[in-house]
Amino acid sequence: MEKKPNHKNFIFWSLLVSFLFISSLISIEIVGQVAYRIHSGHWRFLMHSSYAAGFFIPHPYLVGVPKPGERRTIIDGDKKITISHNSMGFRGHEIKIQKGHNTHRIIVLGGSTTYCVGVSDNETWPYLLEKNLGAGWQVLNLGVPGYSTVEVLIQTALQIQDLSPDIAVYYEGWNDIRNIHIKNLKSDYSDFHGKSQYNSLQINGQEFSKSIIITLIKKYLYNTEGISIRPMPTANAFSTNPDNRALDLYGRNLGSIIALCKKWNTIPLMVPQVLNYEALIGDKPDSWVPFLKEKDVRAAMKYYNEKMREVAAQNQVGFVEEVLETRFSSSDFIDNDHFSPSGNKKFAAILTDFINKEANKENRWKSLR
């Protein structure tokens, strides 16, 4: 006689297995959140997802680029921030690739401090620079969060000919300084900075998740190495000593950028980096630079700005010293490095004065007169 299946036992064991499985996941999540809290000092499940997720798309040479035609409005407390990419993938309003008649075109290149995260389109310093210069001037914002002189060198080599700019403004330093005190630093930054861009731009499956379990699954499925890179420090890590290897690579990249600009009859303009030094006073490692204490960022940034000044002088191109001579307070920043609306306004005014002054000098920038 055939024995009938015991449906009650099947349901019982199914529920028990499901309960144990779900309990295991919950336990792993709790343990992971506690471990993350101990390691980072804050709870992951309370963190906010970055606007970057899905806002940048993969690129074969640059890791990621702004997604063309994308527009978002982000609610930050009681403030609304509007961020737009035009059809060419540049931040800001729509443009035609062909420069208009009697139009002086400026392209600005750099990282997130050029892209201007944290403020609306009409509060960025490239937008304000165009507004300040007035009729006959056009400013294109080619800044991308995380871009160093390596990515900007590629942009200059491959994009400048199509855009035919009269002036190229380079606001550089902060993303290159990430490579300070990294042992055996590769000349193309591919051992640390390049890989970290997958996380910075949150592409290729690296979108932020508040869940530890989901994060671990993504790390397994999307083996980009962007999360797990662990560079080794040099003997001078966490000190104010200069890193000659990193500085020489920075200077080399700037020199190559200037040479390319001259080849395409574009006037390069070097702009040193300023940061919120009133906030960078802690004894803990900086969140952006792995082997530098917060209080030592100012000294390290000085080395990089001096290197830019040196390269600019050697190549007889403009260096905007006025940026370093101007006092920026904490109210001019939204965090350690990105300008607030007031900071962007002040920064744009400095560049406006410099460009107008240089354009009117005898035998200087004749094409702009």
CATH of the domain at 121: 3.40.50.1110
Cα distances (angstroms) measured from residue 34 to each of 54, 118, 135, 213: 28, 30, 57, 13
Q: Using alpha carbons only, give the angle 358, 359, 365 rounded to the nearest 5 degrees.
A: 100
**Pair 268, 330 in one domain:** yes
Q: Are 24 and 148 part of one and the same domain?
A: no
Does 168 share its domain with 33?
A: no
Within-domain flag for 106: yes
Co-location of 32 and 98 in the same domain: no
Q: Which residues contact 74 (CB under 8 A, 6 or more apart)?
A: 51, 80, 81, 82, 83
**Which phi and psi angles does 109 have, rounded to 5°?**
-130, 145
Per-10-residue mean pLDDT for the chain, 369 residues long?
A: 63 80 82 70 55 82 95 80 95 92 94 96 98 96 97 96 95 97 95 89 65 65 50 94 97 98 95 97 91 96 98 97 97 96 98 89 55
The predicted pLDDT at position 311 comes to 98
pLDDT at 61: 92
What pLDDT is attached to residue 18?
Answer: 83
Establish if 287 belongs to a structural domain: yes
pTM for the model stands at 0.83
Cα separation of 136 and 311, whole Å?
Answer: 30
> 264: domain range?
93-189+236-362
Q: What is the pLDDT of residue 3?
A: 56
253 & 334 share domain: yes
Phi, psi (rounded to 5 degrees) for 210: -75, -15
Separation of alpha carbons 95 and 171, rounded Å = 22
- Residue 46: the pLDDT is 57
What amino acid occupies position 216? Answer: L
Residue 36's pLDDT is: 66
Q: Which pLDDT belongs to residue 353?
A: 97
Beta strand 63-66 pairing with 56-59: antiparallel
Q: Which residues pair with 83 in a beta bridge?
A: 72
- When divided into structural domains, the chain yields a total of 2
Q: Are residues 130 and 16 in the same domain?
A: no
Q: Within this chain, do residues 30 and 166 fall inside the same structural domain, yes or no?
A: no
Residues 6+ apart with CB under 8 A from 207: 49, 53, 54, 218
Same domain for 243 and 112: yes
Q: What is the pLDDT of residue 303?
A: 98
Are residue 244 and residue 143 in the same domain, yes or no?
yes
